[in-house]
A = this chain, B = another copy of it.
Amino acid sequence: MLTDDEKAIFNDNLTCEETMKYAMDNAKDIIALGFDVKKTFIYSDLKYLGGHFLMNAWEFSKLVTFNQVRGAFGFNESTNIGRAFFPSVQCVAAFATSYPEIWAEEPLQDRLPSIARIPCLIPMGIDQDPYFRLVRDNAHRMRNPSPKPALIHSKFLTALQGAGGKMSSSNPNSAIFMTDTPKQIKTKINRHAFSGGQVNLEEHRRIGGNPDVDVSYIYLTYFEESDEKLAEVYKNYREGSLLTGELKKMAIDLLQEYVQQFQTRRAAVTDQVLEEFMRPRKLEWGGNPRHPSPNVTEAGRVAN
């Protein structure tokens, strides 16, 4: 769900056309993370919203009063009516019936109870939480009830300046960007990544560093897959046997590789690739070969 509509309503200086263009760029970034086109449908609200999706939004909007969105989002009587309604759109994105095309070769004609029962998992930024409280409160009240969606609250990456700092595109030294060169990454981490080390080598060897506040270590926890290796780095830095420069070097290597691989995949996301991801169509799921999954006997019905 690319919420280009939300951005246009909440930002007074952006038009629908502009937010849709940004959304297309975002979609290419998302694809470059490595999603499987067979299992992935990406859509722009401004293009896709209609049909069953909109029917769900209208139906959901009957369940929610202005008082309730005022409480949930801090709206008041001077809030525009677009913002008041928007939660309906955001919420029903969690209902499987909103996507009549992805379950069958021919788009489903009606919103079926059996499709409505398919559960939904939402990875989201913490700021989106009020929307999903609303949907968890009301999902069972739809004519075809849906289960409460399950949520994963994503952590934001910390700024280079350390915990509590804010990444900001107006301060290029606050963050590593996915467009940075290897040299920029190296310079930023060496110069700006907040360190949990001591003021000099002797002190560091004597009392050790603090990985809990060290941004290089925190970044390692995001991108290093091996828990054993992370535990070892934590221990060595804490003891003072691993130096700040060595830890920064690890973060630099990992980030240079991650960003470079991303950039290679991003360059491969042509308009044609994007179009295929955004084409409403039947998706194919076969489970994740790395994780055994329960037997799926038919669309949305999981064998017990």
Which residues of A line the B interface, CB within 8 A? Answer: 5, 8-9, 12, 15-17, 46-51, 54-55, 57-59, 61-67, 69-70, 75-85, 87-88, 110-111, 143
Given A110-B17, A143-B15, CB of A81 within 8 Å of CB of B55: no
The answer to whether B81 and A61 have CB atoms under 8 Å apart is yes
Contacts of A84 in B (CB 8 A): 66, 81, 84-85
Bound form: Cα–Cα A81–B67 in Å: 9
Given A47-B50, A50-B48, CB of A65 within 8 Å of CB of B79: yes
Contacts of A17 in B (CB 8 A): 55, 110-111
Chain B: minimal CB distance from A283 (Å): 21
Bound form: Cα–Cα A54–B6 in Å: 12
The answer to whether A77 and B66 have CB atoms under 8 Å apart is yes
The answer to whether B85 and A61 have CB atoms under 8 Å apart is yes
The answer to whether B66 and A79 have CB atoms under 8 Å apart is yes
The answer to whether A80 and B59 have CB atoms under 8 Å apart is no
Chain copies in complex: 2
Chain B: minimal CB distance from A158 (Å): 34
Which partner residue on chain B sits nearest A10 by CB separation?
B62
Bound form: Cα–Cα A5–B47 in Å: 19
The answer to whether B55 and A16 have CB atoms under 8 Å apart is yes
The answer to whether B70 and A77 have CB atoms under 8 Å apart is yes
Contacts of A69 in B (CB 8 A): 81
Which partner residue on chain B sits nearest A50 by CB separation?
B50
Bound form: Cα–Cα A82–B12 in Å: 22
The answer to whether A61 and B49 have CB atoms under 8 Å apart is no
Given A15-B59, A17-B110, A85-B85, CB of A80 within 8 Å of CB of B54: no
Contacts of A87 in B (CB 8 A): 81
Which partner residue on chain B sits nearest A15 by CB separation?
B143
The answer to whether B16 and A58 have CB atoms under 8 Å apart is yes
18 A-B residue contacts at CB 8 Å? A8-B55, A8-B59, A16-B55, A16-B58, A17-B110, A47-B51, A49-B49, A61-B83, A62-B80, A65-B77, A65-B80, A66-B76, A66-B77, A66-B80, A67-B77, A81-B85, A81-B87, A85-B85
Bound form: Cα–Cα A74–B82 in Å: 18
